[in-house]
Structure 1
């Protein structure tokens, strides 16, 4: 067997694919983006970009799941056998309009997700991308937030479930803070003014950024209308999607 080698940032290695168990171990090529060490400086895990996939799948991998004996021949073998994932990774260009310099800066700033999962209503959802959360919630250098808790009506978010529960006890509006402009059975659309309901719209953008690699609007909402699609039940109006439009366009 090839000797274990020192792994550096930028190296390409093989690692056990997310969710693969010992009974179905599947190693795939990935690029080392960052490393995490313990108090003694010993590497515990690597943050990797999976070569076949969009950045939404980037993740921390325990060192035990990384092939420290990866060789060029092993990488070549995996590349020869890999399936074509183009329909998954290249279905649209999320970085349209960005030049190379802007794209590199964007990827540097957002290279590591700051939230692993969100809890919103009854749903626990894995986050895809970095979101520029307010410093009151997360600062650069902080530990990754494992679960961020959203109020599904105000879209306020909290680091602990207890904070969310205290917020919910205060009572809140059970629909987006705008005019209902369409209704069909249990589906409604609300028009929300980004200047009149700035905080709500900013929260919506923070949430959306977790699932969009390139999205710059999260603070300047004043010049936009937000059209929010909701499903209604006895608890209120649950946000299921939205789009925004410039007021002067």
Structure 2
């Protein structure tokens, strides 16, 4: 017989209003302490939760809390006899309960544990950072070992429906004990010490080895003895001062466990567990002096049956909005591309995670459209030809005897060619100062070439003065675009919908013209699809540039493939 638990019927927390920044906001009361209350702002992420003076909280008159149950009027003789349901538990002395399954009980227990932060701040190197969420750090050296048991018992408040198990007084059930590898970091609540920490509200974490302490004196002593100067793994990407290190969770177990615990302070939708053997951690660092300082990290499964290329990602709050998150996202997709797969991040995505990935998907699509919706190849401002029209599809970059671009094959970008004929590679500055702005290095890849050969056509229209206008036309499906950009079809479709490019339908006359064109191509032996032309959307280069400006899309990615280390 499956185990069950008898628990009090859950009732929502007391609600009220709080004046925050001059605006009245609805809030829920989560916890109390001397003169202060911990509130959660309705419709806001939990990272906005905070302690406020109790006087600033104004209870709601419609609060459904049990203490506000209506009392039966003794002056109404027409109503029937009173029942226990008509009174609150305080009046009857009887607590209303319900029987739940083991899984539901674990979920309810886990919600209570993670309802509020157990640390207010964390000292990480030179930064004192306000934490966002609960993290199951074990008890520290200077904390009461009985705190865990007392806190757990206070949170449980349950009885077992199985008399034998009840008599044995077993330890509280640990949520997530049977989590799978994909649950990345379901934590043993047994280690979730300090559920109601009142003395230690600040955590000290070494920025190099991620060892955690609850005493500033121990932290200062550890800094003098710590031998780490960079993450204990191998370099997989290095460009100037920016380095990405790959750390194997099965080899550096303690380091990866500490990193997972630290990351949980800023990640809510993912939960961690201490068995990190099936994960690789990629630490993003910025080198200064002789040490590499961690700016963020992401983790991914070694083997993902759903082709997830990333499990958790976090850029530390002091270093956000500096491009580190985008660099890590681009690198995760590069890892997936090298493995011959089309990846996607593990769901669910947090609000900040979704914002970052949407920016990556939009940037990838916009840069792709810029490459393919232009008549001349990237880096070419003009092409000339003798006797015949120039070949716009595959222009030659051969040089004449004097080292200048061929007149027949086109004038390209300026090249630095010394007298000895050897092209020198320009020196790059460290960090973002070395970012490449020469778009010619992003010429059509093999994937682009396959896409262009099957989907792109050139239409030349004669002008009255004898000249001609060349238009680039692409006829393709969303699946073709997703394949060419190495994005999942649902991710590419979502991004195009968010930026409004799927709403630009063709006009009726354009649809009819398109139908005739496709019919002619089909009669000529092409595999063009004539049916469902009413489902076509129209994307112009002008629209692409407008979206690029609105979304502030960079001309080039943050990551350069040439700096990846095999």
TM-score (norm 2): 0.34
Q: Note the 1:127-138 alignment, pairs <5 A.
A: 127-136=131-140, 138=193
> Could you tell me whether the CA contact under 8 Å between 1:115 and 1:144 is conserved in 2?
no
The CA deviation string for residues 119-139 of structure 1, in whole angstroms up to 9 with x for no partner, is 212222111100000123643
Q: Give, in whole Å, the separation in 1 of the partners of 2:37 and 2:240.
A: 49
Matched, 1:179 2:179: no
Matched, 1:111 2:115: yes
Matched, 1:121 2:125: yes
Given the superposition, is the C-alpha separation of residues 163 and 9 from structure 1 closer, same or farther in structure 2, using an over 3 Å criterion?
farther
The CA deviation string for residues 41-92 of structure 1, in whole angstroms up to 9 with x for no partner, is xxx2221110131111111221122225x545xxxxxxxxxxxxxxxxxxxx
Aligned to 2:15: 12
User: How far 1:210 sits from its partner (Å)?
Assistant: 0.7
Q: Give, in whole Å, the separation in 1 of the partners of 2:197 and 2:26.
A: 28
Given the superposition, is the C-alpha separation of residues 197 and 239 from structure 1 closer, same or farther in structure 2, using an over 3 Å criterion?
same
Aligned to 1:77: none
Greater radius of gyration (CA): 2
The CA deviation string for residues 106-165 of structure 1, in whole angstroms up to 9 with x for no partner, is 322200110011121222211110000012364333326332111111111212322111
SS in 2 for 1:67: strand
Q: Note the 1:23-42 alignment, pairs <5 A.
A: 25-37=22-34
Q: Give, in whole Å, the separation in 1 of the partners of 2:29 and 2:132.
A: 18
> Could you tell me whether the CA contact under 8 Å between 1:230 and 1:237 is conserved in 2?
yes
Aligned to 2:288: 233
Q: Give, in whole Å, the separation in 1 of the partners of 2:51 and 2:199.
A: 10
Q: Note the 1:157-196 alignment, pairs <5 A.
A: 157-196=212-251
Q: Note the 1:40-119 alignment, pairs <5 A.
A: 44-67=35-58, 70-71=60-61, 104-119=108-123
Q: Give, in whole Å, the separation in 1 of the partners of 2:139 and 2:126.
A: 27
More strand as a share of residues: 1
SS in 2 for 1:213: coil
User: How far 1:248 sits from its partner (Å)?
Assistant: 3.1
Q: Give, in whole Å, the separation in 2 of the partners of 1:64 and 1:200.
A: 44
Q: Give, in whole Å, the separation in 2 of the partners of 1:115 and 1:142.
A: 8
User: How far 1:218 sits from its partner (Å)?
Assistant: 3.5
Q: Give, in whole Å, the separation in 1 of the partners of 2:24 and 2:32.
A: 19
Q: Give, in whole Å, the separation in 2 of the partners of 1:142 and 1:124.
A: 19
SS in 2 for 1:238: strand
Matched, 1:206 2:261: yes
More helix as a share of residues: 2
Q: Give, in whole Å, the separation in 2 of the partners of 1:243 and 1:177.
A: 15
Q: Give, in whole Å, the separation in 2 of the partners of 1:36 and 1:171.
A: 37
Q: Give, in whole Å, the separation in 1 of the partners of 2:41 and 2:105.
A: 22
Q: Give, in whole Å, the separation in 2 of the partners of 1:205 and 1:144.
A: 24
- Residue 151 of structure 1 is aligned with which of 206, 210, 222? 206
> Could you tell me whether the CA contact under 8 Å between 1:9 and 1:33 is conserved in 2?
no
SS in 1 for 2:201: strand
Q: CA RMSD in A?
A: 2.4
> Could you tell me whether the CA contact under 8 Å between 1:15 and 1:29 is conserved in 2?
yes
The CA deviation string for residues 146-186 of structure 1, in whole angstroms up to 9 with x for no partner, is 32111111111212322111001113111001111221000
TM-score (norm 1): 0.73
Q: Give, in whole Å, the separation in 2 of the partners of 1:237 and 1:111.
A: 35
SS in 2 for 1:15: strand
Q: Give, in whole Å, the separation in 2 of the partners of 1:204 and 1:144.
A: 24
Given the superposition, is the C-alpha separation of residues 50 and 112 from structure 1 closer, same or farther in structure 2, using an over 3 Å criterion?
same
* Greater CA drift, 238-247 or 110-119: 238-247
> Could you tell me whether the CA contact under 8 Å between 2:118 and 2:194 is conserved in 1?
no
User: How far 1:103 sits from its partner (Å)?
Assistant: 5.6
Aligned to 2:414: none
Structure ranking higher on relative contact order (CA contacts 8 Å, 6+ apart): 1
Aligned to 1:5: none
